[in-house]
Amino acid sequence: MGTESFPKRVRALLRIRNRLARECLAELLSTFVLILITLSSSAQVVTSSGAKGNVLSGYMAGALAVMVAVYIGGGVSGAHLNPAFSFAMCLLEQFPWWKFPIFLAVQVSGAFVASGATYALYYDAIQNYTNGTLATYGPRETASIFATYPADYLSLSNGFLDQVMGTGLLILGILAIMDTRNKGVPKGLEPVAVALLVFSIEISMGSNCGCAINPARDFGPRLFTYVAGWGGDVFRWVEGRG
């Protein structure tokens, strides 16, 4: 009897009663999982020179990561995972404005920590692939493992339009999936529908900018590469990339 009550006592001690704290932890964990899977799939492709994956496998991993992340945090924080989505919810008065900067900070932090975890996981592979030189561009660049970079042909204005359209379509699709007045998705399968939405956007709009469609997904890992040794080029327009 005593052994059965001990886990209950531990759970009672560790239980977080503050609702905002629970939401932040759920958002942090779900964003961490999303970015960890997404970046790890990219690292596997890049460091193996395409022998262990390709663009399509990376897109599939990213979409499935969204599904897993929504299942993890959806019941607590709503699993926004994306500052653009949180902002849209504020505009629609479905999310309080005072929570927006908090969720923004948590989402970026989760992405930053996940980038560090990915770097640690693939440290040997990255060092082997780059011969110890962390580059933002060139034949052995590895910055694109973490953040998205535009194609060489892309102008700044076209890149801006690309991200606005992709992100707008993502938010529109999520709102349609969650709208109870529509035909509706079977209860419990909403994360699957969102993952399919993300996958459809990735395979149709990914060539210009890598289809970030998530400021936290891009800025958190980009900030990590800046402090981890890739340097200031990750924030600059370099040889047609920016």
| Chain centroid, CA 42 distance in Å | 12
pLDDT, tens only, 132-157: 888 888 888 999 999 988 888 888 88
DSSP code of 186? P
pLDDT, tens only, 157-177: 888 899 899 999 999 999 999
| Chain centroid, CA 67 distance in Å | 12
Q: Please, which pLDDT band fits residue 200 given cuts at 50, 70 and 90?
A: very high
So what CATH class is 17-235?
mainly alpha
pTM of the shown model: 0.89
Q: Please, which pLDDT band fits residue 91 given cuts at 50, 70 and 90?
A: very high
The token pair that represents 98 in the structure block: 């005072």
Whole-angstrom distance, CA of residue 1 vs CA of residue 173: 51
The token pair that represents 60 in the structure block: 């599939």
CB-hemisphere CA count at 13 Å for 212?
A: 27
The domain spans of the chain are 17-235
Whole-angstrom distance, CA of residue 210 vs CA of residue 39: 12
Neighbours of 191 (CB within 10 A): 20
DSSP code of 226? I
